[in-house]
Each structure stands twice: as structure tokens, then as C-alpha cells.
Amino acid sequence: MEATSIIDGLAQYGPLGLWTASLLWMNWQQRQDAKEEERRLEEAIKHNQEHVVESLREQKHLLEKVLEEVKEIGEKG
């Protein structure tokens, strides 16, 4: 069923039908906005998670490097 036929059907009920149609339209708009916001948040979370993973990998690498240097100093001393 098309939106125009729904609106036409509700318009037959006068102001109450038009009011109902406006509520349905606002509800649809809000759902679309919420879906878009959810999509943006998911992208931001994914980006942040990737950044955290990369930072952890870098920190792991640096810690391994420091550990090797500490072992070398221990062996020399």
C-alpha cells in the first residue's frame, strides 16, 4: 500500500484523519533519523575499536622490545 493512498484514506476522516497521518509521518521520520544515527554510531564504534586494536598492537610491540632490551642488560650485567 502506498503512502499516498494511506493519506488519502485518512483524509476522508477530516481533521482527525489528517492529524493521524501527520503522526504517522512524524513517526516514520523519527525512525529514519534513528536508523541513520544508529548507522553513524556503529561506524564510529568500529573506527574506535580499530584504533584501540592498533594501539594495543603497537604497545605490545614496544613492550616486547623493552623486554628484550632488559634481558640483554641482564645478560651483560
pLDDT digits (tens, 9 = 90+) for 13-39: 889 988 998 999 999 999 999 999 999
pLDDT band at 1 (very low <50, low <70, confident <90, very high): low
pTM over 0.75: no
pLDDT tens-digit series, residues 40-58: 999 999 999 999 999 999 9
Full domain range(s) for residue 38 = 3-76
Cα four-point dihedral sign 13, 18, 24, 27: negative
Q: Which residue shows C-alpha cell 650485567?
A: 77
CB burial of residue 52 (10 Å; 0-12, 13-18, 19+):
exposed
Percentage of residues of the chain with pLDDT beyond 90: 64
Number of separate domains in the chain: 1
Residue 6's identity, in one-letter code, is I
Question: CA triplet 2, 31, 42: central angle to 5 degrees?
Answer: 130
40, 32 contact by CB (below 8 A)? no
